[in-house]
Structure 1
Amino acid sequence: MSTDAVAILGFVSLFVLMLLRVPVGMAMGLVGVTGYSYIVGLGPALKLVGQTSMRTVTDYTFGVIPMFMLMGALVSVSGVSRELFKAANSMIGHLRGGLGVATVLACGGFAAICGSSVATAATFSAVAYPEMRRFNYPQSFSTGVIAAGGTLGAMLPPSTVLAVYAILTQQDIGKLFMAGIIPGLLAMLMYVITIMLIVKFRPEWLPAGETKPWNERVQDLKNVWAPLVLFLFVIGGLYGGFFTPTEAGGVGASGAFILGLVRRKLNRTNIREALLSATRTAAAVFTVLIGALLFGYFLTITQSPQKLTEFLTGLGVGRYGVLAMIMLMYLVLGCLMDAMAMIILTVPIIFPVITHLGFDPIWFGIIIVMTVELGLIHPPVGMNVFVIKSVVKDVSFTTIFKGVLPFVATDIIRLVILIAFPILALWLPGRMG
């Protein structure tokens, strides 16, 4: 059997295994090892499994993943999400649409510490949704703004998705984190503008909340200074070159632990909960990474990336035409699988095409994550939508998808802006110390 036939059979087998609900990491690893052993031999394939597994879990650079996950878990169990929402709501909740804007701002603040879209969406489904419903915000808008706000976890540092992209493409994790800041802030701004437009054309949908006295507002702001300072310290140290990404993760986790103890937000029970949560999530990510690397070795020996590059560049549609085709592929895949699976499955194949076409790999990482963000909320799958539905059980999927449509349109506009103006993603990385 030719290597082309083996590669095609490998892809078909992978999708069959995924349809059978075999975990993505296991499916990729199984197909990768089987294909590699068919072409090279069983002995080298088994040796590759051992070497890849050991190298992945002991690589110093990869330590950034569990460190930032632990930071996010400690902050999460400390109740920071409620404090962020309460502070934002105190300042602007008395305005029409203010609760929606407060949700976006709080999601951004929490995402900047947590680094997970799914966790952000799940958390604010419990925190912000009841408050918006208390003031008669429509169910569709309430769930839609939470789903959109949750996607900020994929873009704002310390994004797990960006870290995995950096590992798969051997890019600088710190530069990718910096590259995500301006697009993430742009997303928050455009979500706020979207809410303001809804207020303008449908003011009865988004009534004003209660007005709180200034002394209460000041106190609510005081309650969130610590986690925000922690984020600025970690990202500032990374930007200035004082920390490596792994060191920044360690500093962030240590800082979150110390702040939680000082503020009396941590106890033995929730510390144990945070450690278990971070360990489970990191183990799952490492399992998927090992599977992806094994699958990548299989692709390399079949020369699939090179052949795909030759095929796409030979279509005569230009490099932006190829980019548009890749973006369309990601939007379709967003209907079928979650964000991490999309990144891990496709980047080893697509990345050589992008570098051959001369696109900046840091910029492309941001574009990929923005497209993945769209996949988190657009129908018919939308991982964030399913997460919200699992928390807010009295709302239908149709209602939630109806609520996210304005934000999907906003994300498409933002994607076009970032493609037209790459400097928005590349300016901060270019100025790092």
Structure 2
Amino acid sequence: MSPVTTGLIGLVIVFILMFLRMPVAFCFFTVGFFGVWHIRGLEAALSGIATIPFSTATTYAFTVLPLFILMGFLSSKVGIAEEFYDGIRRWIGSFRGGLASAVIWGNVGFGACAGDSISPTVTFTAISLPEMRKYGYSDTLSMGAIIGGGNLALLIPPSSGFILYGIITLTPIGRLFIAGIFPGLLLAVLFMGIIFFICWRNPAAGPPGPRTTFREKLGAGAGMWAIIVVFLVIIGGIYIGLFTPTEAGAAGASLVILLSLARRRLSWSGFKDACVQTATVWGMVIFLLIGVVVFNLFLTVTGVQFAIATFVSEITQSPTLLLLLIAMMFFLLGMVVDILAMMLLIVPLLFPVVINLGVDPLQFGVVVVLTTGAGAISPPYGLVLYAISAIVKDVSLPTLMRAVVPFFCAIIICALLVVFFPQIATWLPGTMLPTLQ
């Protein structure tokens, strides 16, 4: 059996183990270890696992992720994102479909504090769904806005997807953060268009919400400044070359702590819980990264990357067609495979091929994040749908599937626009100061 065949069999085994619900980190580690043992012998395999865990856990580039994770948990504890949503709601909630639109822009604000799609979805299910039901919103529109809007946190920096993509591909994380701003705002506008169209076709789906006085609007607006300041400090600092992404993460977490203490929002127990949650999540991520590094060692010694590059180059030399094919693959896999695991597994295999055909790594990163997010909410197998179905037990799974269809289509449209017009993702990073180029 050739090494390449062994590598391909290893890939298949990893997917089988994932479907059998084996922990993803152990899937990668087990197949990688025994694969290297099979190809190079036991001594080489033991040598790899003796050095990889320490070298991976102490890599400086990885420190950016726990800092932003801590910032997200701290923001959740003190309610910064909820305040931002409340301010938006008071300004636009009295319009038809306004409460659903407030959820969309609330997710934009949440994305400035947390970089995953599950956290904002769960948060807005708790704080916005009861109010939308109170004012007669249909569950279809409400849940569509909540689940679809969660994908905005994958694009609005700081995004955990962009951080991992940058670590895997050695693409500057600061440039990836800036690259996600325009696509994220574009997606938010598309979501707003969908809400407007639904309410135009069926006014009963999104009746006007509570009216507020101008004084109340101003009072609510004052509560929005915290998240705006945090976002401007982090992203503005990266954009002008003041911070590296790691320094921005430290500055963001520190700023959230200072703002919370100044407003007497952060208790010792809340701070301790945020630190424990950060350590728990980071522990899971670092074990996953160690497993992926071991598995990538196996793929390297088998020559699978080179074989895939040769195979793809024989299929097409068109960068656009290749991006479309990869986007479709990520979308399909995103239905059934965890976003984090899929990115760590697939991106290292395809990134060299894409770059050799002249695709900008920033464009590729945005397309990957968009399509994996679309797959995660896509009917009928999207993982996020089943997670939310377990939380909102009085909304049936078929209703959730109908609810996300228009928002899912908007994500696909946004991804296609980035494929055909890469400047959407690449123009703004091109204007950054030379210190981060």
Task: Give me the TM-score of the superposition, normalised by structure 2.
Answer: 0.96
Partner of 1:252: 252
CA distance in 1, matches of 2:12, 2:182: 39
Q: Is the deviation greater in 281-290 or in 387-396?
A: 387-396
Which string of whole-angstrom CA distances, capped at 9 and with x for unpartnered residues, describes residues 368-411 of structure 1?
A: 10101111211123233233223222111110110111111111
Partner of 1:178: 178
CA distance in 2, matches of 1:91, 1:98: 9
Please state how far the C-alpha of 1:258 moved relative to its aligned partner.
Answer: 1.2
Which string of whole-angstrom CA distances, capped at 9 and with x for unpartnered residues, describes residues 36-66 of structure 1?
A: 1221222222222232211222112110000
Which string of whole-angstrom CA distances, capped at 9 and with x for unpartnered residues, describes residues 78-97 of structure 1?
A: 11232122111100000000
**Contact 1:116/1:159 (8 A) holds in 2:** yes
CA distance in 1, matches of 2:16, 2:133: 42
Is 2:202 the counterpart of 1:202? yes
Partner of 2:399: 399
| CA-atom RMSD in angstroms | 1.3
SS at match of 1:137: coil
Question: In the superposition, relative to structure 1, how do residues 15 and 129 fare at CA in structure 2: closer, same or farther (>3 Å)?
Answer: same
**Contact 1:81/1:123 (8 A) holds in 2:** no
Partner of 1:148: 148
**Contact 1:118/1:383 (8 A) holds in 2:** no
CA distance in 2, matches of 1:156, 1:81: 13
SS at match of 1:334: helix
Partner of 1:307: 307
Partner of 1:293: 293
Which string of whole-angstrom CA distances, capped at 9 and with x for unpartnered residues, describes residues 145-195 of structure 1?
A: 100110111111111111011111111111111111111111111111111
Is 2:73 the counterpart of 1:73? yes
1:324-335 aligned at under 5 Å gives the runs 324-335=324-335
Partner of 1:127: 127
Which string of whole-angstrom CA distances, capped at 9 and with x for unpartnered residues, describes residues 342-375 of structure 1?
A: 2111111111211121111121011110101111
Is 2:345 the counterpart of 1:365? no
Partner of 1:413: 413
**Contact 2:93/2:211 (8 A) holds in 1:** yes
SS at match of 2:96: coil
Partner of 1:389: 389
Which string of whole-angstrom CA distances, capped at 9 and with x for unpartnered residues, describes residues 119-164 of structure 1?
A: 1111111011111111111111111110011011111111111101
SS at match of 1:314: helix
Q: Is the deviation greater in 16-25 or in 98-107?
A: 16-25
Unaligned runs of 5+ in 2: none
CA distance in 2, matches of 1:305, 1:71: 36
Q: Is the deviation greater in 79-88 or in 203-212?
A: 79-88
SS at match of 2:112: helix
Partner of 1:112: 112
CA distance in 2, matches of 1:183, 1:51: 39
CA distance in 2, matches of 1:2, 1:88: 60
Please state how far the C-alpha of 1:230 moved relative to its aligned partner.
Answer: 1.2
**Contact 1:69/1:114 (8 A) holds in 2:** yes
CA distance in 2, matches of 1:240, 1:389: 43
1:214-293 aligned at under 5 Å gives the runs 214-293=214-293
**Contact 1:178/1:239 (8 A) holds in 2:** yes
Q: What is the identity, as a one-letter code, of the residue corresponding to 2:376?
A: L
- Counting aligned pairs with the same residue, the percent is 38
**Contact 2:336/2:376 (8 A) holds in 1:** no
Please state how far the C-alpha of 1:316 moved relative to its aligned partner.
Answer: 4.3
CA distance in 2, matches of 1:50, 1:62: 19
CA distance in 2, matches of 1:210, 1:16: 51
CA distance in 1, matches of 2:327, 2:417: 14
Q: Is the deviation greater in 301-310 or in 78-87?
A: 78-87
Partner of 1:192: 192
Task: Give me the TM-score of the superposition, normalised by structure 1.
Answer: 0.97
Partner of 2:49: 49
Q: What is the identity, as a one-letter code, of the residue corresponding to 2:419?
A: I
CA distance in 2, matches of 1:197, 1:16: 42
Q: What is the identity, as a one-letter code, of the residue corresponding to 1:334?
A: G
**Contact 1:173/1:245 (8 A) holds in 2:** yes
Work out the number of aligned pairs and report it: 433
CA distance in 2, matches of 1:9, 1:236: 46
CA distance in 1, matches of 2:154, 2:130: 24
CA distance in 2, matches of 1:8, 1:421: 34
**Contact 1:157/1:181 (8 A) holds in 2:** yes
Partner of 1:337: 337
Q: Is the deviation greater in 310-319 or in 68-77?
A: 310-319
SS at match of 2:22: coil
SS at match of 2:136: coil
CA distance in 2, matches of 1:205, 1:266: 38
**Contact 1:334/1:381 (8 A) holds in 2:** no
CA distance in 1, matches of 2:230, 2:73: 14
CA distance in 1, matches of 2:381, 2:340: 14
SS at match of 1:266: coil
Q: Is the deviation greater in 301-310 or in 318-327?
A: 318-327
Is 2:103 the counterpart of 1:103? yes
CA distance in 1, matches of 2:53, 2:132: 47
Q: What is the identity, as a one-letter code, of the residue corresponding to 2:348?
A: P
Question: In the superposition, relative to structure 1, how do residues 60 and 208 fare at CA in structure 2: closer, same or farther (>3 Å)?
Answer: same
CA distance in 2, matches of 1:346, 1:313: 17
Partner of 1:38: 38
**Contact 2:324/2:419 (8 A) holds in 1:** no
Which string of whole-angstrom CA distances, capped at 9 and with x for unpartnered residues, describes residues 65-84 of structure 1?
A: 00000001000111123212
SS at match of 1:110: helix
SS at match of 1:242: coil
